[in-house]
Amino acid sequence: MADSSTTHLSPQTAQALRDWTDQFLDPRGGNQPEVAQLLRQVVDLLIEELSRAASTPPVPLEWDEIPSNLLVPAGAVSSEEILKACRSLVRGSMNPAHPRYLGHMDPLPSTGSVIGSLLMAAVNNNMLSREMSPIFSELEQRLSREMAGMFGLPETACGMMQSGGTLCNIQALAVARNHQFREQGIARHGIQSMFGQPVILASDLCHTSIQKAAMLLGLGSDAVIPIPTDEHCRLSPNHLRRAIFECRLKQQLPFAVVGTLGTTVTGSIDPLPELATICEQEDLWFHVDASYGGAVIFSDKYRHLRQGCEQADSITFNPQKWCYVTKACAMVFFRDESVLDHAFRIPAPYMSLNEESGSTNLGEWGVQGTRAPDVAKWWLTLLQFGQSGLGALVDQTLQLTQEFVVRLAERPYLELATRPDLNILCFRDLRNSERPDEYNAALQRQLLEEHQTFFSLPWFRKSRWLKAVLLNPYTTTTDLDSIFEFIDRFQHK
């Protein structure tokens, strides 16, 4: 709200001024009631819409068209229009809270992380440097060390957050490359200083971010050598050994192996301890992509699945997936802080508080510069659940996966791609042997359009499969029974 000093202005200028002054919370408290009312109305709208998420489609089939005059409006619109716009956005959104939204690794968000999202937006800090995010930078560094320890890394370890698992993998492999080729000075001189092609070895089911990393590191996406996986979709150590040997014969320069704890399509876990041993013997960097499966660290029953991570040089972990944190929220850990510091850090002279205090500006360590304090969402989620609460969710959703598998096994016309290691599985219907892909695509579509049930439809080993990610704690065995009844009754028209 403009104050009395603006009363001498022309009506048009005064209106334009009101157009912007009302869109901030006045730091002198001038418009507190108006802003508070708008925020409360938005919160009420969200609670109203989202607490009936179980009866709205998991993926909307249609949504409001935003009028052209509102795309870049000529002037400020009213609060009513803002609320209407919010409702349209919610109604046109993917609805991962639906108990039969099973398609992707996108969970319903924890309330703690929604609060954290609001809080971090409201204070608008910047993780680039400590002076721009005092408490958040400290919290992120402390929490990263703590979590690195939960993955079994030693006290020398450190970590940071990045906006998503892709960036974490890119960051880890950039550090790996710079460290493994430090004698050639690759960090400063680039890959033209190399006599040979640096390559990364990863399973043929690794996430595409590994190829993106190779592309961005100037190696080309073909520099990711795909290692065959076994019938359980796990990288085969024997094939890995052979591939390392063959790469060297061809004058290629293997520098890193990526093992995955929870692959994207089938949630499979590579034999991490064996991969770690091979890396040690062959002097290769060992990166674990635990983007999805890292959540097992919270479960007493399933923590052992992270075995091998304690030998990693770097680890990616995405609490935005199985820990129910709003996007983006991802962490990358390094076994040895001094390696990260030497292999990656570019000091920024325009930011203070680094050398003097012995603390790090996270923007110097990471791929990203300006970045939001996602740690707020993660920490508030940890406060809400505690380790035991997150562990209980891991246990519960793994139990639900077993229930799913039991129902699949009762139906000879359904095929499971591979026995699930976690709570992700792929299956397909074999009732049409002539056009199986088309048939399964039609089944997936009908489940969504007629039964509010969403599976995604990945290609896997050259066929279409229905993929289920069973991470919604509100999905019940009754939901599973209904889903299998729909599938039983399905007829391709």
Ligand X SMILES: Cc1ncc(COP(=O)(O)O)c(C=O)c1O
CB 321, min distance to ligand X, A? 7
Alpha carbon distances (Å) from 194 to 94, 175, 295, 397:
46, 16, 38, 47
Distance (Å, rounded) from C-alpha 260 to C-alpha 254? 18
CB 86, min distance to ligand X, A? 25
CB 93, min distance to ligand X, A? 18
As beta bridge partners, residue 259 has 288
Residue whose Cβ sits closest to ligand X: 165
CB 260, min distance to ligand X, A? 5
CB 241, min distance to ligand X, A? 23
Q: How far is CA 288 from the centre of its chain?
A: 15
- 361 lies in the site for ligand X, by CB under 6 A: no
**3-class DSSP state for residue 368?**
coil
Distance (Å, rounded) from C-alpha 454 to C-alpha 467? 9
Question: For the window 223-262, what string marks contact with ligand X as x by the rule CB under 6 A?
Answer: -------------------------------------x-x
Residues 6 or more apart in contact with residue 219 via CB below 8 angstroms: 177, 191, 197, 198, 199, 200
Within residues 101-120, the interface with ligand X by CB under 6 A covers 105
Residue of 144, 264, 311, 381 that binds ligand X (CB under 6 A) = 264
- 468 lies in the site for ligand X, by CB under 6 A: no
* Residue among 105 and 275 whose Cβ is closer to ligand X: 105
CB 291, min distance to ligand X, A? 4
- 322 lies in the site for ligand X, by CB under 6 A: no
CB 293, min distance to ligand X, A? 8
* Residue among 229 and 291 whose Cβ is closer to ligand X: 291
Distance (Å, rounded) from C-alpha 75 to C-alpha 16? 8
Q: How far is CA 131 from the centre of its chain?
A: 27
- 211 lies in the site for ligand X, by CB under 6 A: no
- Buried b / exposed e along 275-301 (16+ C-beta atoms within 10 A): bbebbeebebbbbbbbbbbbbbbbbee
- 401 lies in the site for ligand X, by CB under 6 A: no
Distance (Å, rounded) from C-alpha 452 to C-alpha 446? 9
Contact between 367 and 172 (Cβ < 8 Å): no
Stretch that binds ligand X, among 33-41, 163-171, 189-197, 390-398 (CB under 6 A): 163-171
* Residue among 166 and 311 whose Cβ is closer to ligand X: 166
Residue of 95, 209, 326, 354 that binds ligand X (CB under 6 A) = 209
Residue of 57, 103, 164, 198 that binds ligand X (CB under 6 A) = 164
**How many Å is the Cα radius of gyration of the chain?**
25
- 326 lies in the site for ligand X, by CB under 6 A: no
Helix, strand, coil percentages in the chain from 3-state DSSP, rounded to 5:
50, 15, 40
DSSP string, 147-202: HHHHTT--TT-EEEEESSHHHHHHHHHHHHHHHHTGGGTHHHH-GGG-SSEEEEEE
Within residues 5-34, the interface with ligand X by CB under 6 A covers none
- 423 lies in the site for ligand X, by CB under 6 A: no
Binding site for ligand X (CB under 6 A): 105, 164-166, 169, 207, 209, 260, 262-264, 289, 291-292, 318, 330
